[in-house]
Homo-oligomer: A and B are copies of this chain.
Amino acid sequence: MDRRPSQTRSAASHTRESGVSPARESVRSRVHGILRGQITSLELPPGSPLSENELANELQVSRTPVREALILLGDEALVEVFPKLGTFVSRISVPAVMEAQFVREAIELAALHEAVKRSDAQDIADLRAILDLQREACAAGDADTFFGLDEAFHRRLMEVSGHRTLWRTVTTAKAHLDRARRLSLPLPHRVETLIDEHTSVVDALEERDDAAAVGALRGHLQGVFDDIGTIQARHPELFVADGDEAVPVRRRVHPGVRGSQV
């Protein structure tokens, strides 16, 4: 009557875990990760229809894991499921972006507040190393790498604060912010500004200047709002229309081609 596994298992608890799984990853987890990446990178633009059957055929799996992945994505509001109608990549909602920004700012600032007290030389060196790589990616014009390093920077920053599992919470909020930031990246002057802001945070962190660090990070995070108006004017179809909540449009960007570029 008593069952227990042969040994402790620390992994495989969170479905959302990315990275390399030790042996094999569940199909659901794999599909979830693929779709999540394509949505946050805008490879699947907001408003795109996501058919369970179609995805299952493309990925060569059955509907079940695809459906389960879509349910998880729906729970984090990256897709919208309309029963008996269809599933769509959620459009960018400015209020939702502001809420996500609020959550992220609250958590990261609180974490930074503790990081100021805890950081050591190694932490500072690691952060600066990431910034150097970011400058390289910036010079090379590699947007994907740049974004990956940006994520690494903020992640490392939270590790310094001593809260290791906190990153997952931020990730959920960050997904919505990333889509907006992806759109603003093509704008000039943005990239260098981001790196400068990161540098200011590390500088203040090294000098254990709490107020300066928090102020710098806040300014950095709130930069999302700088261009969002411009972006919305340029790509209105990617945003939810004012006064018209969540209207799916069952029309793909390019007929017959799924997941085409913007």
Contacts and interface: CB of A to CB of B under 8 A. Distances in A.
Nearest to A16: B75
Interface string A100-130: 0011011101110000000000000000000
A232 B220 CA distance: 41
Report, as a range, how many residues of chain A touch the other chain. 35 or more
Contacts of A246: 8-10, 13
B247 A8 contact: yes
Given A68-B68, A72-B75, A163-B102, A245 B16 contact: no
A74 B165 CA distance: 15
Contacts of A83: 12, 26
Nearest to A113: B106
Contacts of A106: 106-107, 109-111
Contact of A2 (B95, B102, B249): B249
A262 interface: no
- Copies of this protein chain in the complex: 2
Given A3-B86, A9-B245, A75 B14 contact: yes
A78 B56 CA distance: 29
Contacts of A14: 74-75, 77
Given A107-B107, A247-B4, A166 B99 contact: yes
A59 interface: no
Contacts of A2: 249-251
Contacts of A172: 169
Given A2-B250, A13-B81, A106-B110, 5 more contacts: A14-B74, A14-B75, A102-B107, A106-B111, A169-B173
